[in-house]
Structure 1
Amino acid sequence: MRRQIFQLKVSLADVTPPVWRRVQVPGGYTLDRVHRVFQSVLGWQNCHLHSFDIDGMQYGVPDPEGELTLRDELDTRLDAVATKGGRFLYTYDFGDWWEHDVTVEDVFGADPDERYPVCSAGDGACPPEDVGGPYGYRQFLAAMADPAHPEHETLRSWLGRSFDPSTFDPGRASTLARWLS
């Protein structure tokens, strides 16, 4: 029997222009590996806590302080909690609160000639880390687009590079996903 591949569409909620990725991952991946795939294909840097909300259950890295009640993502395989047509939430950075809607678009047998995970499509650049969530990202985009904006130079200096919100390269995302997962 061929291993099962889950095609997931991951969409960052409440941002314009839209940011989304279509990824194909083995169903045998534990949720911690799915998290690493999401980090790499979206462009996050894995600097913050995260969680999955699947059918009312929370999964993530267990909290040693006991303040967050999370099931251990290391013990949970994707194929045990997700089904074709299903949906779940992935939240990254509990301060900025980046919510991602995840749809299981398809489940199919692995192509023996393909290396997984694969990022087959997507749109939009991931917002920079620590920009302040969707509201802060809107302010960031406005300031970066207007050289006369009072925060333009400060934000360019803070980011340390140019930023084009429409840039996305699925080939580079696939390479990173394979390397980091």
Structure 2
Amino acid sequence: MPRHIFQLRISLSGVRPTIWRRVLVPGGYTLDRLHRVVQHAMGWRDCHLHSFEIDGVQYGEPDPDGDLALDDELTLHDELDVRLDAVAGKGSRLQYTYDFGDWWEHDLLVEDVVTADADERYPRCVDGERAAPPENVGGAQGYLLLLAAVADPGHPEHAAMRAWVGDGFDPEAFDAGRVTTLLRRFC
């Protein structure tokens, strides 16, 4: 039986211009592995909690104490037990939330499902635009403030924000080859 590859477009919500990635992942990946794909594709460091929502069902990493209830009404299903191809198909949308403080929401659209190319290695990033915001920047509003301060040498927070993000930070930078290397190393 041939392996199926899901072509996903990952878009970060709440930031303009859009920050997005297009990745090719095996349909047999569990949602836990898909979480790692999103992390490395977007440049996140997996420092915070996350969850998926698919057709109204929440998936994520279970509490180490064994409690899967997020609150009295919402149950979190273990992402290790669920394969991508069992919950999604072409045209499906998945919501992925990372960092419940900054609340980064990602829209994952299954653009296509194709047969794996025997000569290709997966996962792979094939396209995208812009660097993801740095960790702990304060969500979409904090990121907009950071961008304004970094872009304006006269801004009162310019020096502090530039020092915080480092000289190498370029919000327009994106390298699909580098992302593919990270995906193959860590996913």
Instruction: Give the TM-score of the pair, scaled to structure 1.
Output: 0.97
Alignment match, 2:81: 75
Q: Shift in Å at residue 156 of structure 1?
A: 1.6
Residue 148 (structure 1) aligned to one of 148, 154, 166: 154
Q: 2:69 & 2:112 partners in 1: Cα distance? A: 35
Alignment: residue pair count:
181
Note the aligned Cα RMSD (angstroms).
1.1
CA contact (8 A) 2:69 2:76 kept: no
Residues 4 and 110 of structure 1 are in contact (CA less than 8 Å); yes or no, is this contact kept in structure 2? yes
Where structure 1 has 5 or more consecutive residues not aligned to the other structure, the ranges are none
Choose which of 102, 109, 112 in structure 1 pairs with 2:115.
109
Q: Which residue of 1 aligns with 2:133?
A: 127
| Structure 2 counterparts to residues 19-168 of structure 1, below 5 A | 19-63=19-63, 64=65, 66=68, 68=70, 69-168=75-174
The answer to whether the 8 A contact 2:52-2:95 is kept is yes
- Distance in 2 (CA, whole Å) between partners of 1:144 and 1:41 is 24
SS of the residue 2:89 aligns to: coil
Q: Deviations over 1:111-163 (max 9, x none)?
A: 00000001000001110000011011000100010111111111122223332
Deviation at 1:66, TM superposition (A): 4.9
Q: Please tell me whether the aligned partners of residues 50 and 92 of structure 1 are also in contact (alpha carbons under 8 angstroms).
A: yes
**Matching residue's letter, 1:35:** H
Decide which moves more: 129-138 or 58-67: 58-67
How far apart in 2 are the matches of 1:160 and 1:48?
A: 21
Relative to the length of structure 2, the TM-score reads 0.94
Ranges in structure 2 where 5+ consecutive residues have no aligned partner: none
Greater CA drift, 61-70 or 162-171: 61-70
**Aligned residues: percent identity?**
64
CA distance in 1, matches of 2:120, 2:167: 34
Q: Is the 8 A contact 1:17 1:165 kept in 2?
A: no
Distance (Å, rounded) in 2 between the aligned partners of 1:158 and 1:165: 14
Runs in 1 of length 4+ with deviation above 4 angstroms?
none
Letter in 2 for 1:88: L
